[in-house]
Structure 1
Amino acid sequence: MARGQIKSWVMRSGICAAIVAATALFSLSSATADQPAHFMSVRMDGVEGRQGPGADQRVAWLYQRAGLPVMVLAEREGWKRVRDPDGDEVWMRSEDLEARRTVYVREQATLRRTARANGQVVAYLMPGVIGAVTRCDGDWRRVAVGGRIGWVQNASLWGGECAGLDQATRP
């Protein structure tokens, strides 16, 4: 093969590679753009968060808290791209997540019997506590933690968005 032919072939290969990469990027974005972000929770202790969607991707984090809420940002072939309460984004296998809604207490919060600032105190929640969430009432979330059920102001929580909450489910 002459030198000019090799250069031409390399340029065509580069163009083909660019087309393939663009197609892959388009299919990834279309596969992930179908659903708005929503919350799920980590199914069990020891779930791996990987840098990309695949078992061959490097493990970035090992999640040791079953029930930890995560925000699902994208989905691709049995994998979900998630954001954790610290803001880190990783890919997890879909089977390692469950639809059960939980919240993460970001700052000390008061669990109250009613959804009012003057409601009777049920418990004080420390940062890092995880609880099941089932209902919304304005800026308040109905949360179950350690056998106690009450209302917490959403400003103290991560994962307390109302969209997708199953009102029929009770903790």
Structure 2
Amino acid sequence: MTGFFKTISKIFNYFFFFAVIYLTPDQNFSLGKKNFFSTKYEEANLRNGPGTNHLILYKILQKGYPVYVVEEFENWKRITDYKNRSGWIANSQLSKATYGIILENNSILFKFPTTQSKQIAFLQEDVTFQIIDCKFYWCKINLKGFTGWVETKNFWGSKD
């Protein structure tokens, strides 16, 4: 009988170990789609700590600038941008609207999500746009009245 109980005990221990590993959410998983935000206003301060008493590292001078949240503290979020710059920003300065930013010059905006589709425009590096929808390796975007599809490899931002 002791062999039977040892076997059951081992099975239970393995089950418990894997249940803890797979059911414990990590920080990125628990934030899910909420990781990406964008700036709500034309000007936002990034600080070296969570609070107005901390130094301003730099200013983001663009509404709709995409940022990725890596940490939260009270009413503040520590974010990074596509250039890996990091800082703290007040929650009130952020929007849940999804935006992206083009990574290289002459990225193509297509009419449909295929490279065989009509080319609508050539996009320049650092141009931001609103993301409407994403499917597989493509996202439908709106850029200053132009709507079309861009390959996800050509931009930084939410692809959900």
TM-score (norm. length: structure 1) = 0.73
How far does residue 126 in structure 1 lie from its aligned partner after superposition? 0.4
**Which residue is equivalent to 1:43?**
40
How far does residue 124 in structure 1 lie from its aligned partner after superposition? 1.0
How far does residue 160 in structure 1 lie from its aligned partner after superposition? 3.5
**Which residue is equivalent to 2:23?**
none
**Which residue is equivalent to 1:152?**
150
**1:54-65 equivalences in 2 (<5 Å):** 54-65=51-62
Letter in 2 for 1:95: S
Which runs of 5 or more residues in structure 1 are unaligned?
1-31, 163-171
**Which residue is equivalent to 2:127?**
129
How far does residue 85 in structure 1 lie from its aligned partner after superposition? 1.6
**Which residue is equivalent to 2:78?**
81
**Which residue is equivalent to 2:50?**
53
Classify the secondary structure of the residue corresponding to 1:44. coil
**Which residue is equivalent to 1:29?**
none
**Which residue is equivalent to 1:161?**
159
In 2, Cα distance between equivalents of 1:98 and 1:59? 20
**Which residue is equivalent to 1:67?**
64
**Which residue is equivalent to 2:117?**
119
Which of the numbers 96, 100, 115 marks the counterpart of 1:99? 96
Contact 1:39 1:72 in 2 (8 A): yes
Letter in 2 for 1:42: T
Moved >6 Å (runs of 4+) = none
Instruction: Report percent identity of matched pairs.
Output: 24
In 2, Cα distance between equivalents of 1:145 and 1:46? 20
Which runs of 5 or more residues in structure 2 are unaligned?
1-25
How far does residue 128 in structure 1 lie from its aligned partner after superposition? 1.0
Task: State how many pairs are aligned.
Answer: 131
Letter in 1 for 2:49: G
**Which residue is equivalent to 2:9?**
none
